[in-house]
């Protein structure tokens, strides 16, 4: 049985490839009603992208005027950190030398080759572009999930392994509630 971490428990395994949904009591912060896909998790901290916060910008607006993008690509806000970087979460059939596999048919890429290929029309079957990321320092994510001081239940996360239909097929406005529902079903399934 895979480990599942409801609010207020200790994390004792890697959360790479897992979704974190902010709990309903997380209000009036950047993370209110967010769902984050963790793409790196180690003893040094964790990195992820928020998959349900579309921005009002497009890839062409982030590039210099010398680059023409066919079928402009909408940008999502990956998190409040480093808004100058561009990341692409995508399906695994498309890769560059800098692609990192995150989970089942989920990869993350960030390099100049990625932009060139997108401009040329070479695109993955499923993908989403992000500016910025979400980041946790050493022990911070684990402390938030466990609700350890200085964090509390409003800082915690509802967790579950990433499901492709939540990442690729659910409207961004519905991802948060759908993830909470799926995490509840996942938790119940672990006991029966």
Burial zone of 65 (CB within 10 Å; 0-12 exposed, 13-18 middle, 19+ buried): exposed
pLDDT of residue 44: 94
Which residues have a Cβ under 8 Å from the Cβ of 156 and sit 6 or more positions away? 7, 8, 23, 26, 144, 145, 146, 147
So what CATH class is 18-171? alpha beta
- 14, β-bridge pairs: none
pLDDT of residue 12: 61
pLDDT of residue 146: 84
Per-residue pLDDT of the chain (192 residues; tens, 9 = 90+): 344 444 444 456 799 999 999 999 888 889 999 999 999 999 999 999 999 999 998 887 777 665 666 667 899 999 999 988 999 999 999 999 999 999 889 999 998 888 888 888 899 999 999 999 999 999 999 989 888 888 877 778 999 999 999 999 999 999 999 999 999 998 888 888
* Domain-wise residue ranges, the chain: 18-171
Burial zone of 135 (CB within 10 Å; 0-12 exposed, 13-18 middle, 19+ buried): middle
pLDDT of residue 112: 82
Q: 165 by DSSP, 3-state: which?
A: helix
Backbone angles phi, psi at 63, to 5 degrees: -100, 165
């Amino acid at each position: 049985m895979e480990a599942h971490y409801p609010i207020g428990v200790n994390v004792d395994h890697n959360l790479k490839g897992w979704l974190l949904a902010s709990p309903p009591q997380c209000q009036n912060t950047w993370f209110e009603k967010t769902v984050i896909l963790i793409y790196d998790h180690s003893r040094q901290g964790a990195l992820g992208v928020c998959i349900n916060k579309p921005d009002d910008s497009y890839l062409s607006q982030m590039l210099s005027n010398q680059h023409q993008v066919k079928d402009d690509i909408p940008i999502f806000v990956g998190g409040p950190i480093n808004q100058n970087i561009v990341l692409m979460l995508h399906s695994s059939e498309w890769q560059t030398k800098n692609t990192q596999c995150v989970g089942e048919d989920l990869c993350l890429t960030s390099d100049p080759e990625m932009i060139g290929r997108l401009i040329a029309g070479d695109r993955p079957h499923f993908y989403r572009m992000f500016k910025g990321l979400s980041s946790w320092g050493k022990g911070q994510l684990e402390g938030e999930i466990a609700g350890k001081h200085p964090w509390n239940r409003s800082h915690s996360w509802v967790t579950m392994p990433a499901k492709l239909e939540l990442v690729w097929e659910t409207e961004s406005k519905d991802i948060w509630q759908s993830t909470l529902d799926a995490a509840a079903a996942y938790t119940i399934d672990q006991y029966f």
